[in-house]
């Protein structure tokens, strides 16, 4: 194995599993070079359905150069409504061309159709009785061009190594009929989960889980990072040194809207009790509140995967003590989708049977996203899980939190498999991933570049 980039190691991704040098290069030099289209899994009624029963208007939008959260804010402003009435299934990156679903509560479809924003296309699909929720998609399809690669010929050797890591099961030949190659990589949470420029979101979440509300605010508002602009670093350093929330408002740039909202609340409420700091954290949108805790869970998950690699335990098949989940039988063709509601513990007696299920893509080895309902594995996998959680100073009960910070937890597949098609001139990769998995964890193995270039 090969050691990962320092920025990746800071969020728990310790290794590359391919030893070949990367192709280098850059991603997202223009939005069209990073194409993402959702595999939709949300049923809608006709647009003329009764609005009282179906108050949410569902539309498909193609965005070029838009962050999902920014688009939701601008859209709600144009419609003259609260941003909380805008919902979507998956958050996408700004530096991409993305096609995805949104819903808006209690809106006149004509007002949506009248929206005229640069690089935004809107197609009204119909109505629904509930909003689209995070995860209301089967997966995403990607077509990604690598700009200015240093050594593009390396791509074939890397893919061969990733195919070996993913295993060659009875029903999953390495080379597919369409010329694509089936690969496997650790199903890490990608860098953007934690902040691509300033990876601190998990630090906020860990402080929340430990009940340190003030520490969580300081991790988000203070805590300067070397990759930030100088004025931002200076403002964050002032916060960390003085905890002068009113003074921070004079220094924090206007572009740091969430940080400013926290400081404004603290300047108002006196910042004397833990509840004051919790109230400051609750000034940000609810999806970001959830993301803080999700990022802490994700960081621990990444650490578990790296520890499993350290111990040379397999990812494509179980060992005694593992917990596996089974494949979702309703997943679209060609997209293996783990169903983490259907799990089974692996024992010395059933390991052979479950191994065959994993080989055939019918089951997946999992690791925990810690929450109040999380049950840990047994054997050596369980030792790894407990050691990571002990090092981080967290346990399931810590996630019995108020409001949006509460989490029951779940489990997640540790191996990400996909069929990759390659065009060599220009170097372009096409593949599909199940929901919740990151294209960058595939691309990092291929480029081995600074995460800033991903």
Tens-binned pLDDT, residue by residue, of the chain (454 aa) = 899 999 999 999 999 999 999 999 999 889 999 999 999 989 999 999 999 999 999 999 999 999 898 999 999 999 999 999 999 998 888 889 999 999 999 999 999 999 999 999 999 999 999 999 988 999 999 999 999 999 999 999 999 999 999 985 434 345 555 689 999 999 999 998 998 788 999 999 999 999 999 999 999 999 999 989 999 999 999 999 999 999 999 999 999 999 999 999 999 998 999 999 999 999 998 989 999 999 999 999 999 999 999 999 999 999 999 999 999 988 877 788 899 999 999 999 999 999 999 999 999 999 999 999 999 999 999 999 999 999 999 999 999 999 999 999 999 999 999 999 999 999 999 999 999 999 999 999 999 999 888 7
Question: What is the C-alpha to C-alpha distance for residues 252 and 222, in angstroms, rounded to an integer?
Answer: 10
Q: Which residues contact 306 (CB under 8 A, 6 or more apart)?
A: 12, 13, 14, 15, 186
Task: Determine contact, residues 285/83, Cβ cutoff 8 Å.
Answer: yes
Distance of CA 167 to CAs 54, 247, 252, 435, Å?
46, 57, 50, 22
Helix axes 201-209, 213-221, angle to 10 degrees: 170
Helix axes 213-221, 257-269, angle to 10 degrees: 140
**Between β-strands 56-64 and 86-88, what pairing exists: parallel, antiparallel or unpaired?**
unpaired
Instruction: Annotate 217-280 with DSSP letters as a single string.
Output: HHHHHS---TTS-HHHHHHHHHHHHH--HHHHHHHS-TT-HHHHHHHHHHHHH-S-SHHHHHHH
Question: What is the C-alpha to C-alpha distance for residues 88 and 71, in angstroms, rounded to an integer?
Answer: 11
- pLDDT digits 0-9 by tens, 275-298: 999 999 999 989 899 999 999 999
Q: What is the reported pLDDT for 176?
A: 57
Question: What is the C-alpha to C-alpha distance for residues 416 and 436, in angstroms, rounded to an integer?
Answer: 11
Rg (CA), the chain: 22
| Dihedral sign, Cα of residue 207, residue 209, residue 211, residue 214 | positive
Task: Determine contact, residues 436/412, Cβ cutoff 8 Å.
Answer: yes
Question: What is the C-alpha to C-alpha distance for residues 258 and 123, in angstroms, rounded to an integer?
Answer: 31
Helix (H) and strand (E) counts in the chain? 14, 15
Helix/strand/coil (H/E/C) assignment for every residue in 366-402: EEEECCCCCCCCCHHHHHHHHHHHHHHCCCHHHHCCC
- pLDDT digits 0-9 by tens, 27-48: 988 999 999 999 998 999 999 9
For residue 59, list its beta bridge partners.
Answer: 102, 124
Query: Is the bond preceding 426 in cis, omega lying within 30 degrees of 0?
Result: yes
- pLDDT digits 0-9 by tens, 242-274: 999 999 999 999 999 999 999 999 999 989 999
Catalytic residues: 93
Q: For the chain, which domains are there? A: 2-27+146-187+416-453 (no CATH), 33-138 (3.30.70.3160), 200-284 (1.10.1510.30), 288-413 (3.30.2350.20)
């Amino acid at each position: 194995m090969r050691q990962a980039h320092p920025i990746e190691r800071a969020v728990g991704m310790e290794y590359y599993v391919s030893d070949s040098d990367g192709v280098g290069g850059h991603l997202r030099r223009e939005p069209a070079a990073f194409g993402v289209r959702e595999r939709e899994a949300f049923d809608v009624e006709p647009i003329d359905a009764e609005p009282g029963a179906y108050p949410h208007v569902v539309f498909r939008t193609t965005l070029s150069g838009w962050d999902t959260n920014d688009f939701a804010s601008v859209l709600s402003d144009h419609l003259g409504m609260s941003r909380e009435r805008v919902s979507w299934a998956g958050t996408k990156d700004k530096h991409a061309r993305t096609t995805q679903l949104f819903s808006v509560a209690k809106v006149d479809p004509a007002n949506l159709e009248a929206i005229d924003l640069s690089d935004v296309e809107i197609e009204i699909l119909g109505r629904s009785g509930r909003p689209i929720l995070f995860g209301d998609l089967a997966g995403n399809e990607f077509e990604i061009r690598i700009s200015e690669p240093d050594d593009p010929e390396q791509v074939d050797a890397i893919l061969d190594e990733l195919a070996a890591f993913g295993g060659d099961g009875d029903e999953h030949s390495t080379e597919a009929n369409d010329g694509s190659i089936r690969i496997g990589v650790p199903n890490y949470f990608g860098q953007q989960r934690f902040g691509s420029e300033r990876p601190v979101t998990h630090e906020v979440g860990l402080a929340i889980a430990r009940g340190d509300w003030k520490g969580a605010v300081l991790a988000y508002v203070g805590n300067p990072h070397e990759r930030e602009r100088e004025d931002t670093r200076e403002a964050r350093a002032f916060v960390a040194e003085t905890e002068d929330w009113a003074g921070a408002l004079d220094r924090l740039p206007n572009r740091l809207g969430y940080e400013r909202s926290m400081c404004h609340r603290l300047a108002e409420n006196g910042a004397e009790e833990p509840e004051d700091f919790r109230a400051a954290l609750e000034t940000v949108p609810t999806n970001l509140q959830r993301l803080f805790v999700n990022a802490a869970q994700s960081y621990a998950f990444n650490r578990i995967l790296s520890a499993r690699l350290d111990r040379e335990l397999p990812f494509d098949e179980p060992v005694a003590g593992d917990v596996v989940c089974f494949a979702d039988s309703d997943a679209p063709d060609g997209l293996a989708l783990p169903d983490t509601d259907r799990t089974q513990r692996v024992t010395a007696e059933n390991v052979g049977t479950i191994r065959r299920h994993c080989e055939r893509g019918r089951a997946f080895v999992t690791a925990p996203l810690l929450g109040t309902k999380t049950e840990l594995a047994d054997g050596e996998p369980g030792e790894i899980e407990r050691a990571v959680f002990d090092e981080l100073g967290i346990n399931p009960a810590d996630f019995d939190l108020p409001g949006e910070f509460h989490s029951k937890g779940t489990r997640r597949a540790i191996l990400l498999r996909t069929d990759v098609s390659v065009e060599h001139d220009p170097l372009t990769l096409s593949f599909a991933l199940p929901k919740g998995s990151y294209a960058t964890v595939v691309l990092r193995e291929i480029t081995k570049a600074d995460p800033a270039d991903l």
